[in-house]
Amino acid sequence: MNILLDTHILLWWLDDESRLKPTMRDAIKNQNNQVLVSSVSFWEIMLKKELGKLTCTDQLEDYIVKSGFAWLPLLPKHVQTVISLPRHHKDPFDRMLVAQAVTEDITLMTVDVKMVKYPVRVFL
């Protein structure tokens, strides 16, 4: 299974793995799954860090790579998809993650129940 981590899932994995449901931890650790981190999540984290809303290591990129996660870049086709999505969610970062998951046919791992309103596979 290909899994795209929502930003909060990524942060919990890197900071306090115990906040994740056991099924989520198991899926992330499963070598048969490809775990992806969107450049959108990295952007969101860095923005919140700059605004003082979040603290995180300056080596975040290194930690993501060391975790064995693959990068999912933001592509024009993702932007085209996000424009066509209904506005169930007001957060532009979350909407972009949904668009990436829809476009790439990836399961989105999240605890945000608003995501189930979109035409995307969600791992809750």
- Which CATH number is 2-123 given? 3.40.50.1010
Domain residue spans of the chain = 2-123
In angstroms, the CA 103 to CA 85 distance is 11
Local confidence band at 44 (pLDDT 50, 70, 90 cut-offs): very high
CB 91 within 8 A of CB 78: no
Per the prediction, the chain carries an average pLDDT of 95
Where is 40: in which H helix or E strand?
helix 39-50
pLDDT classification of 12: cutoffs 50, 70, 90: very high
Query: Could you give the strand order of the β-sheet that contains 70-72, starting from the edge strand earlier in sequence?
Result: 70-72, 34-38, 2-5, 107-109, 122-123
pLDDT for position 16: 81
pLDDT band with cut points at 50, 70 and 90 for residue 103: very high
Q: Write the single-letter amino acid at 37.
A: V
